[in-house]
Chain A
Amino acid sequence: MELVRPLLVKREVRAEVTTMRQQTDKSVTLTLRPNKNWQGLRAGQFVNLSVEIEGVRETRPYSPAGSEHAAGHALELTISTHPEGKVSRYLRERARPGMIVGLSEAQGEFVLPAQRAQRVLLISGGSGVTPVMAMLRTLCEEGHAGEIGFLNYARSPELALYDAELNALAEGHKNLHVARGFTRASAGAGSPGDPRLGDSRLKGRFDREHARAVMSEYGEAATFVCGPPALIEAVRAVWREDGLQEPTVETFTPPAPHFNALQFDKEQATGMVSFAASGREAANSGLPLLEQAEDAGLTPEHGCRMGICNTCSCRKRSGTVRNVITGEYSSAGDEQIRICVSVPVGDVALEL
């Protein structure tokens, strides 16, 4: 059978869920034991995790939060749930020890350089805590001698992740300074000195003082920022004002909301269409992706131009599209689509 269907015996990375816990009401933390095909990862990288939900193999990227030196290559994932998040909600409700999931190899350039910097500043917001948590744990495990600052934002103390772990690390490593900010107005103001985090509690959103709170000489640190676009922008603004080198950043976009209420209209087309393989990019014109690709000077393979023959079928890396025949909205992740009948809804990245 291998002679005729090589795909059926493809080597795949899979992992078994070994533990499951819920740190907050809106997250789930899993440990995974990958199979022998797993090649390991560097702290800060992400993996694409796949689970089958209602017959569909859904794939989402998650950044493991464990040290890159973890025994047995165990992976720890903390997944924040979103009301629209199909996979995150499924994992919180259904993941149990023994469950098997699919994994990609580790990917991404958001990593600690092999030559560790003396001073390291790690800034994160929301679920963006996971890759910097991996960096922090890796540095602590290596007995890093230099100063480490760890600044994390959550909406409220109830939603803050890794409290106990951060306290324990801060106690064991005198060179580590941890502070947390709570961005929801009511959360930060009233009660300074959270019993769990001592005096490390900050008010409001990121500013220069927050950076100073964890590292007075922050300008000399190698800085890593992971979080929503607003946080990234706030850090970049301060760094620009101070004339510092760009921090290393990673951002994520929340899952697409339901568009069903929107009557699609070319005038309302938003976002950018990027063609990853050719490196081209164009503003979404509201036409089917095949025509947008042709308008961008590409010549994708195609046939019937009416959604029948599947010749133009192409991998979508990210973004939501609407099928003009069925009116269906796709998921936001990596999947195969017929570009002659798919219109982008916001940003879309294609493998073309």
Chain B
Amino acid sequence: MSKTAPNLTPEQLESFGEELDALCARVTADLGQRDADYINKVIRAQRGLEVAGRALLFVSFLPPAWLAGTAALSVSKILDNMEIGHNVMHGQYDWMNDARLNGKTFEWDTACPADQWRHSHNYMHHTYTNIVGKDRDIGYGILRMSEDERWRPYYLGNPLYAALLAIFFQYGVALHDLETEQIAAGKASLRDKRGMMKDIWGKVRGQTLKDYVLFPLLSGPSFPLVLAGNATANLARNLWSFTIIFCGHFPDGTHEFTEEEAENETRGEWYYRQLLGSANLTGGKLFHVMAGNLSYQIEHHLFPGIPAHRYTEISKEVREITERYGIPYNTGPLHKQFGSVVRKIVKLAIPPLPGRGSGPDAAKPPAGRERAEERQLLATA
């Protein structure tokens, strides 16, 4: 946490929020054919890759076919989960009125039931971003990712848990909304979670049958090769999505917040928290598509409802606005950002040195106006 944020006056924060609202309104009004064409193109590519990948794996007794098939299936799953699934489920394409792309009903090719994702991610993570104790994306209830979390001997395993989480990421995500650490701590009972566990089990079973039983069986003699190809594709997707997602909020310079800091925040302060808590990745066009444009984590957290392929062009304006207000804009190449995440995982495994404060050095947004007043503002704006 090297960067410090300037202290803005409430008036400055308000006009900062208004500028971002205006940007959001301008882009929303401009949505149309171009955006529909884009997402349809990505969906066609994903489906083409999936069909091609599974077909190639059927003839995977030829080694090049196994490699190509596994690669195609990996890319297909990554596109399905990130550029399509994650973004569609935010409701980014609801305006198209296309039943296939409805954010409330979309289902994706991974172990996590979409409805649970919509709750843990769209609501909890996006509303309470980086608030320690509320945003469970900070460490997934498994890792220590913030100095604000008290160290326990359990956290000596931080790097090991992180590696396991990366490998089995889809199952980590699937269990995310269950809040297993609450159950372990005795704060929630298994019985309350029975419905959720049934849904997770249903989804995991369906996915397992599809990738590890049905398609391998269909291929007959290629059974073990298809199974290995599907497992590799799932692993590749897990590692890639873990890497991109962990670069969203944990690189050096991102801030965490306490519940008190975020209490009664105004719209401008909410935007400010999103900015301080998120980090971008630099890269080429293909990289951003494969990252589901989550490489523009800052823009995504400011405007989660705007189609993600627009973030590239929006980022120029966001950057210009943040520079004018003197707010840090955290971005860097993947190796640098991910390197700092790995360092943080290792560093937080070790107990804090005595004498060195373990408190956050996050800039505190100024105390906000009443929430009710804000709601009033929304209603009459």
**Interface of A with B (CB < 8 Å)?**
1, 3-8, 10, 50, 52, 54-59, 264-266, 286-288, 291, 303-311, 313, 323-328, 334-336, 338, 341, 343
Contact = CB atoms under 8 A, between A and B. Distances in A.
B91 interface: yes
A304 B206 contact: no
Given A311-B118, A328-B29, A336-B91, A56 B96 contact: yes
Interface string B118-129: 110011001100
Interface stretch (B7-15, B63-71, B373-381): B373-381
Contacts of A59: 97
A311 B32 contact: no
Nearest to B108: A4
B194 interface: no
B105 A7 contact: yes
A287 B379 CA distance: 6
B126 A308 contact: yes
B33 A1 contact: no
A42 to B, nearest CB: 26
A311 B379 contact: no
Contacts of B150: none
A286 B379 contact: yes
A323 B29 CA distance: 11
B118 A310 contact: yes
A55 B207 contact: no
B41 interface: no
A327 B256 CA distance: 32
A349 B134 CA distance: 35
Contacts of B100: 7-8, 10
A130 B265 CA distance: 55
Contacts of A303: 119, 122-123, 127
- Name B's interface SS: helix
Given A264-B380, A324-B381, A3 B206 contact: yes
Given A5-B107, A7-B105, A10-B99, A306 B33 contact: no
Contacts of B367: none
B21 A57 contact: no
Nearest to A303: B123
B303 to A, nearest CB: 9
A39 to B, nearest CB: 18
B106 interface: yes
Nearest to B379: A287
Interface residues of B, number: 52
Interface in B303-349: 304-305
6 contacts: A4-B207, A5-B107, A56-B97, A303-B119, A310-B304, A323-B28
Interface in B172-221: 206-207, 209-210, 214
Given A310-B91, A327-B25, A56 B379 contact: no
A57 B97 contact: yes
Contacts of A7: 99-100, 102, 105-107
Contacts of B210: 3-4
Contact of A326 (B28, B47, B98, B104): B28
Contacts of A338: 91, 305
A1 B210 CA distance: 9
Given A56-B32, A336-B97, A310 B127 contact: no
B109 interface: yes
Contacts of A56: 32, 36, 95-97
Nearest to A59: B97
A57 B98 contact: yes
Contacts of A286: 379
Nearest to A54: B32
B35 interface: yes
Nearest to B95: A56
Pairs of residues from A and B, 10 with the lowest C-beta to C-beta distance, nearest first: A55-B36, A303-B123, A310-B91, A57-B97, A326-B25, A304-B127, A309-B123, A54-B32, A55-B33, A309-B122
A1 B47 contact: yes
Nearest to A327: B25
A334 B24 CA distance: 24
Given A4-B207, A287-B379, A55 B37 contact: yes
Contacts of A324: 378-379, 381
Contacts of A58: 97
A309 B119 CA distance: 8
B143 to A, nearest CB: 24
A328 B380 contact: no
A288 B126 contact: no
Given A264-B380, A336-B103, A313 B123 contact: no
B96 A266 contact: no
A306 B104 contact: no
Given A54-B32, A56-B96, A335-B97, A4 B378 contact: no
A231 to B, nearest CB: 31
